[in-house]
Amino acid sequence: MTTEMLKPTASESQVAVFVKGLAQEAGFDVVGIARIEDLGDDASRLMEWVAAGRQGTMDYMVRNTDRRLDPRRILPALQSIVCVALNYGEGSSEPALGHGRIARYARGRDYHKVFTNRLSQFERLLHEQFPGINTRHYVDTGPVLEKLWAERAGVGWRGKHTNLVSREWGSWLLLGEVLTDLDLKADARGEDHCGTCTRCLDACPTNAFPAPYQLDSNRCLSYLTIEHRGSIPVEFREALGDRVFGCDDCLEACPWNRFAREAREADFKPRPELLAPLLTDLVTMDDAEFLRRFAGTAVMRAKREGLARNACVALGNVGGPGALEALKRALHDSSQIVREHAQWAVDRLESKDVR
């Protein structure tokens, strides 16, 4: 439906279709609409998750709980949430010896920047067509339960690994949302198609899922390599393998990925320096080099200290040319965290008599 086709007498369904067309015009791959409603058992599960400490050191999950559970506290007149998604699928690849592994979503431009541009364009189109409306947009930067609302908007369903899964796109969707006081017809809630499959749970190298649909962040390699700022527990360091930023194991295991397709967003195409960075470079780089290489990418989230810490552990696991030399240089790093992990890696390689 084009903008010229929307009439004052348009039905609720026609308006919803029109709004979806605006989202697609702004460049989103998937769009769905959820009506504001009580979260019921989902609210209880969130509170139980936080009470059990499964958010780890992600203190922001504890803050603003009232707004997470009721987004009308963000936008008082809120009626609908337009949930949008971008596909970031790409072919898999195995890093060579001595190279690190970065999660797929972080191998191109920072998705926050891509989403912010698209969401701003979408909001502009909405305000042009519906003068006087109120909107707020987010892309995992505010107190909005994005996976929950995306499921309620029919974008997909929350799989047993707690991430969103789509029959059309598999596991490779990044999510955003626009909150609005427009009264829009909602889409049918996403239906769970996991069945008896447990491949995602079985694939986790640290047993981070105490039960289906439950995640203990304290054991998750994605959390430990990105959000966690301190020392990586020794019990999980070997399982980290060659990962330096994130982990895709549970996502890659999902059989619905047989329907996945390559991302059409050029900014999501892997950059050579992010596809399989040399671990010795990551261990020894300074702040200026870190900024030069990773500015404008999601890897900035880990900071230089976190990425060097992760690379030390990865080198201790996989070795490679120049590994010991680089790690011994890292023993003099300005960061105590990096020095600690470098020492662990040196001890590990020397115990294997790796040169």
Indicate whether 119 and 44 sit together in one domain.
yes
The distance of Cα 77 from the centroid of its chain, to the nearest Å, equals 29
How far is it, in rounded angstroms, from Cα 8 to Cα 261? 38
Clarify whether residues 218 and 305 are in a common domain.
yes
Catalytic residues: 140
Predicted confidence band at 72 (pLDDT cuts at 50, 70, 90)?
very high
Average pLDDT over all residues of the chain: 93
Same domain, 323 and 229: yes
Q: Is 253 contained in some domain? A: no
pLDDT tens figures, 247-271: 999 999 999 999 998 999 999 999 9
Q: Are residues 167 and 24 in the same domain?
A: yes
Mean pLDDT value across residues 96-102: 94
**What is the reported pLDDT for 353?**
65
The pTM (predicted TM-score) of the whole model is 0.92
Whether residues 346 and 229 share a domain: the answer is yes
Give the DSSP H or E segment for 165: strand 164-165
Asked if pLDDT for residue 157 goes beyond 50, the answer is yes
Find out whether 55 and 214 touch, Cβ atoms under 8 Å.
no
Do 152 and 23 reside in the same domain of the chain? yes
Residue 3 confidence (pLDDT):
46
- 57, 228 in Cβ contact below 8 A? yes
Model confidence at 1, pLDDT cuts 50, 70, 90, reads very low
pLDDT bucket at 6, cuts 50 / 70 / 90? low
The residue among 311, 346, 344, 309 whose CA lies nearest residue 325 is 346
At 63 the pLDDT is: 79
160 and 223 belong to one structural domain = no
Distance of CA 208 to the CA centre of its chain: 16
Statement to judge: residues 174 and 211 lie in one domain: no
- The DSSP bridge partners found for residue 87 are 173
**DSSP secondary structure letter of residue 227:** T
Per-residue pLDDT, 65: 83
The string of pLDDT tens digits covering residues 169-215 is: 999 999 999 999 999 999 999 999 999 999 999 999 999 999 999 99
Same domain (yes/no): 34, 140: yes
Q: 180, 198, 228 — which closes off a domain?
A: 180
Is 161 found in the same domain as 45? Answer: yes
- Comparing C-alpha atoms, which of 143, 280, 294 is closest to residue 226? 294
Residue 277 above 80 pLDDT?
yes
What are the residue ranges of helices labelled H in 82-217? 111-129, 146-152, 199-203
Sign of CA dihedral 70, 73, 75, 78: positive
pLDDT of residue 46: 87
Question: Span 292-321, mean pLDDT?
Answer: 97
pLDDT at 2: 42
pLDDT at 12: 75
Note whether 173 and 283 are same-domain residues: no
**3-state SS class at 285:** coil
pLDDT tens-digit series, residues 221-252: 999 999 999 999 999 999 999 999 999 999 99
Helices 303-318 and 287-294 pack at an angle, to 10 degrees, of 90
Indicate the number of domains in the chain. 2
Instruction: Give the domain extent around 218.
Output: 206-246+278-351
Residue 2 · residue 32 · CB < 8 Å:
no
- Give the side-chain half-sphere CA count within 13 A for 176: 27
With a cut of 70, say whether residue 10 has pLDDT above it. no
The mean pLDDT of 320-344, rounded to a whole number, is 97
Token pair belonging to 210:
């105490």
Give the 3-state secondary structure of residue 191.
coil
**Residues 225 and 292 grouped into a single domain:** yes
